């Protein structure tokens, strides 16, 4: 998008934010009126086409959202569990069909039957109390396991603000270089999927000239099947906030922005309360604790767009622009939010800094493998006997996660889709040879990603699952590059026609399509979707053969 639009949006800073204002004016009807879009365009000195283009992109701002009162989760985990058709039928006894929309994903993959009403998420047996919930008379009965196998880093107990921030002043007094060195010594790599070294990113931004810099927490990584970010935001928010403060200190930022998914309303409320607690303890503002460090937070609630998990699309979103992926270079560390140097890290990466900076980078580096240091949260879905969030050291056998922590499967499962829609489709018989680390997955032709696990039961069609993946990728594409915009739709059409009309797919044509997506897309959204398709073609060829010429 235009650098000029970034500058114009940044004139008012984050306090009066165009993206937030779009959400505010949409609140009553579900979509902003043309009059409000024109008013905001005038206030921010941008064209009406820009405010219209932005508003019509997001699930919860676009005109189709008007009048919606309930939303059904249509994520991969709920799809495979087969719970949503009955759920929607029950909701229709209380709402007109036009009043029911869809969300993806609500992070209730451990028990499915997930839906949203009046700013609250529900799942599992909640649907049996829908008449009560519609009246606002009840809370979700959701529960899930959360445990560590080995050294707890992200799941260790929170002992209160005073204890949690006991090292804060000492770290500030040690200086930026010393704190950065601990992070580098830890060897931590980004937990969002790319596995990029965090220390390198922080160092690059620290060395960029500029008086204004930002640290941004990407809490919009909405991979269906993953709810580890939600666990951290709701159960360990201070680990995330501490990590942002220390990352901000390293790069010279005075503002931390938390971009939190619209699908996680409880996370927004919990984090806001945690920030209020820091203010009460004098740990935010100017000259915190008598130091020269100034820092505060800003929460931005997203409006429903999977592509905003891509860091440059996320930055455009905060600016009130259409969330299209930006061409790199320049990288966000050079020119990010409002064209200022910015570091974007995901929730789990930032949360790990508390352990690293209180126990030492060397202590963290002792965990895991030579190239994949530390621990990883794994999300197990409802097909496991003990679904939940499990923290394991990198290098832990995947079989340990499945059989010991997850308690095995409740029913026969033929594949695990690990790492989100762009992750690897792993046949269950290959799980015994994999370990939870970046290298083991890559070597076997898969992708660890977010380490979310979506189980595909034995009776579920792999062709139907691939059709679903292409449909999801097409719907969620930002549309900027045509390989992704057109290619994902063509992939959906091929598998849909093959499944429903007896159409035979030309294998060479499909291979060309996958190759174009992988090599020609601007970001990992279009570039990553071929991986699970190729995995399926390799490992489930007998099941898929009838689809091809």
Q: Are residue 158 and residue 82 in the same domain, yes or no?
A: no
Q: Are residue 236 and residue 309 in the same domain, yes or no?
A: yes
Q: Distance of CA 410 to CAs 81, 87, 383, 385, Å? A: 12, 21, 6, 5
Structural domain containing residue 29: 3-65
User: 3-state DSSP helix/strand/coil percent for the chain, to nearest 5?
Assistant: 50, 15, 40
Predicted confidence band of residue 2 (pLDDT cuts 50, 70, 90): low
* 213 belongs to a structural domain: yes
Which pLDDT tens digit goes with each residue over 433-451?
A: 999 999 999 999 999 999 9
Which pLDDT tens digit goes with each residue over 215-253?
A: 999 999 889 999 999 999 999 999 999 999 999 999 999
Q: Name the domain count of the chain.
A: 5
Q: What is the mean pLDDT of the chain?
A: 95
Question: Which residue, 65, 93, 113, sits at the end of a domain?
Answer: 65
Q: Output phi, psi for 313, to 5 deg.
A: -65, -40
Domain containing 404 — which CATH number?
Answer: 3.10.20.600
Q: Are residue 284 and residue 422 in the same domain, yes or no?
A: no
Q: Are residue 423 and residue 540 in the same domain, yes or no?
A: no
Is the pLDDT score of 137 beyond 80? no
Beta-carbon contacts of residue 105 (< 8 Å; ≥ 6 apart): 73, 75, 76, 77, 78, 114, 222, 223, 224, 225, 226, 263
Beta bridge partners of 462: none
* 370 belongs to a structural domain: no
Which pLDDT tens digit goes with each residue over 449-482?
A: 999 999 999 999 999 999 999 999 999 999 999 9
Which pLDDT tens digit goes with each residue over 346-393?
A: 999 999 999 999 999 999 999 999 999 999 999 999 999 999 999 999
Q: Are residue 161 and residue 288 in the same domain, yes or no?
A: yes
* 151 belongs to a structural domain: yes
> Would strands 388-393 and 375-380 be described as parallel, antiparallel, or unpaired?
antiparallel
The pLDDT value recorded for residue 539 is: 97
HEC readout, 110-163: CCCCCEEECCEEECHHHHHHHHHHHCCCCCCCCCCEEEEECCCCCCCCCCCHHH
Q: Peptide bond before 105: cis, by omega within 30 degrees of 0?
A: yes
Q: Are residue 118 and residue 167 in the same domain, yes or no?
A: no
Domain containing 474 — which CATH number?
Answer: 1.20.1440.230
Q: Which residue has the tokens 């060479």?
A: 508
Strand ranges (E), 406-549:
413-418, 424-427, 453-457
The pLDDT value recorded for residue 229 is: 97
Q: Are residue 42 and residue 78 in the same domain, yes or no?
A: no
In terms of Cβ atoms closer than 10 Å to its own Cβ (0-12, 13-18, 19+), residue 508 is: exposed
Q: Are residue 188 and residue 308 in the same domain, yes or no?
A: yes
């Amino acid at each position: 998008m235009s650098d000029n639009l970034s500058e114009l949006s940044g004139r008012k800073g984050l306090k009066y934010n165009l993206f937030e204002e779009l959400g505010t004016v949409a609140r009553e009807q579900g979509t902003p009126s043309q009059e409000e879009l024109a008013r905001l365009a005038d206030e921010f000195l941008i064209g009406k086409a820009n405010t219209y283009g932005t508003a019509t992109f997001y699930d919860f701002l676009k005109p189709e959202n008007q009048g919606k009162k309930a939303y059904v989760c249509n994520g991969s985990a709920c799809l495979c569990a087969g719970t949503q058709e009955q759920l929607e039928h029950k909701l229709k006894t209380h709402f007109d069909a036009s009043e029911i929309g869809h969300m993806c994903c609500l992070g209730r993959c451990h028990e499915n039957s997930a839906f949203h009403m009046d700013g609250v998420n529900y799942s599992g047996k909640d649907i049996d109390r829908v008449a009560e919930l519609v009246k606002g008379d009840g809370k979700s009965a959701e529960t899930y396991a959360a445990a560590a196998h080995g050294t707890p880093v992200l799941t260790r107990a929170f002992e209160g603000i005073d204890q949690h921030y006991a090292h804060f002043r000492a770290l500030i007094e040690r200086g930026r270089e010393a704190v950065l060195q601990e992070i580098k010594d830890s060897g931590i790599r980004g937990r969002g999927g790319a596995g990029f070294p965090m220390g390198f990113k922080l160092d690059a931004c620290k060395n960029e000239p500029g008086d204004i810099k930002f640290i941004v927490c990407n809490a919009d990584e909405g991979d269906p099947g993953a709810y580890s970010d939600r666990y951290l935001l709701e159960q360990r928010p201070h680990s995330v906030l501490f990590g942002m403060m220390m990352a901000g200190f390293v790069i010279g930022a005075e503002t931390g922005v938390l971009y939190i998914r619209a699908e996680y309303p409880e996370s927004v409320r919990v984090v806001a309360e945690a920030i209020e607690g820091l203010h009460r303890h004098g740990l935010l503002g100017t000259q915190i604790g008598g130091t020269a460090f100034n820092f505060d937070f800003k929460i931005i609630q997203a409006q429903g767009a999977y592509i905003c998990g891509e860091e440059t699309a996320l930055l455009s979103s905060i600016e009130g622009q259409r969330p299209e992926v930006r061409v790199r270079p320049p990288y966000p560390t050079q020119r990010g939010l409002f064209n200022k140097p910015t570091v974007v890290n995901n929730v789990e990466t930032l949360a790990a800094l508390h352990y690293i900076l209180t126990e030492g980078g060397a202590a963290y580096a002792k965990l895991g493998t030579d190239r994949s240091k530390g621990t990883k949260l794994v999300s197990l879905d409802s097909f496991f006997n003990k679904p939940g969030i499990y923290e394991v050291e990198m290098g832990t056998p995947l079989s340990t996660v499945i059989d010991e922590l997850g308690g095995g499967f409740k029913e026969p499962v033929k594949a695990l889709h690990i790492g989100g829609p762009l992750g690897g489709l792993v046949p269950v018989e290959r799980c015994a040879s994999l370990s939870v680390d970046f290298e083991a997955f890559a070597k076997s032709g898969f992708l660890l990603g977010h380490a979310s696990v979506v189980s595909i039961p034995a009776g579920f069609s792999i062709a139907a699952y691939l059709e679903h993946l292409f449909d999801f990728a097409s719907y969620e594409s930002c549309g900027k590059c045509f390989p992704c915009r057109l290619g994902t739709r063509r992939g959906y059409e091929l598998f849909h026609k093959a499944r429903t009309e007896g159409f035979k797919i030309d294998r060479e044509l499909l291979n060309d399509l996958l190759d174009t997506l992988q090599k020609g897309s601007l970001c990992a959204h279009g570039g990553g979707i071929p991986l699970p398709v190729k995995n399926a073609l390799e490992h489930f060829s007998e099941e898929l053969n009838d689809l091809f010429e």
